[in-house]
Amino acid sequence: MKIVLRYSLLIWILLIAASCEYYLGINQQPDFTNNDIPEGLNICGVLRPDSAGGTNRSFVFVQRLWPVLVWGDFDIVTGVSVAVEHYRNDTLTDTTDFPLQLPDGYHADTLYRTTENFQPQPGDRYRLICRHPDFPEATGEAIFPPEPHIVDNSLSIDGRNVSFRITADTLIAMIDVYFVTPGSNLILARVATDENNDTEINIELPADPEGMQLYIFGYEKNMAVYLGNSNTSLNFNKYRTTISTLESGYGVFGALNYTVVEL
């Protein structure tokens, strides 16, 4: 009986440990020091196909990386040289500068944005280069994805229930579906895709769909990895490693494309 109780207790402890994230006294945290993570630029760079106010909406936000428990501001780092190289069939075709731009009637934030004619092309490769005299160079690459394509005759609307299929594509790793109404938008689905199979989407709208729109965003793999591994947790004792899709530096450089469905 004692042996049975001991094994039962052990199984119960293992089940509890596997089903929650509570700290049980076993130190699984790394030893934090100010030298654990080298200092560098923290990037959020996104390539988009659309424009606002006559300029492309692609942007690059640049911060510095702050060590844990060290106070610092989260303002954008100024004085960074930001450029995006465009490669087609592994041949450099052109380079677009992204100077620092103040907010205007179309952009609410201070961002590194292009003022040139910049139109990312599906299937082409883009390379981000960020240089600042006080930090190591930050670089990353992304392949611009095509618009998500709804399989012909797969769209079905039954009251507030909407279903459709997105054609499989090797350059689209994640799908977001937004329900857009005048003055607001609401995300209804986020689905990781399978490059070998179409993606099934089944959603229930929060309101009558007549006259509304669905925006279907397709993210390439860098954006999918970054969005799918958000470094946030309500468990303050939980350690999460730094997520980065860059070759050097921290953060993400990725791309998205989208299509609009009129309901």
Kind plus residue range of the DSSP H or E element containing 224: helix 221-228
* pLDDT at residue 54, as a whole number: 86
For the stretch 28-50, pLDDT in tens is 555 555 556 677 899 999 999 99
* pLDDT confidence of residue 91: 96
Q: Which of 126, 127, 123, 107 is nearest to 115 (CA)?
A: 107
How far apart (Å, rounded) are the C-alpha atoms in residues 38 and 66? 10
Q: How far apart are CA 66 and CA 19, in angstroms?
A: 32
The amino acid occupying position 254 is: G
Question: Which residues, listed in sequence order, are joined to residue 92 by a DSSP beta bridge?
Answer: 87
Please report, as a single letter, which amino acid is at residue 164.
F
| pLDDT of 230 | 64
Residue 141: name the closest of 87, 93, 99 by CA. 87
Pairing label, strands 161-166, 174-181: unpaired
Q: What is the structure's pLDDT at 216?
A: 97
Q: What is the pLDDT of residue 211?
A: 83
Quote the pTM value.
0.81
What six digits make up the tokens of 32?
């934090």
Widest pairwise Cα distance in the chain: 79
Q: How many CA atoms lie within 13 A of 7 on its CB side?
A: 4
Residues of the chain with pLDDT under 70: 1-37, 66-74, 230-242
pLDDT digits (tens, 9 = 90+) for 170-218: 999 999 999 988 888 899 999 999 989 999 999 999 888 888 899 999 9
Burial class (CB in 10 A: 0-12, 13-18, 19+), 181: middle
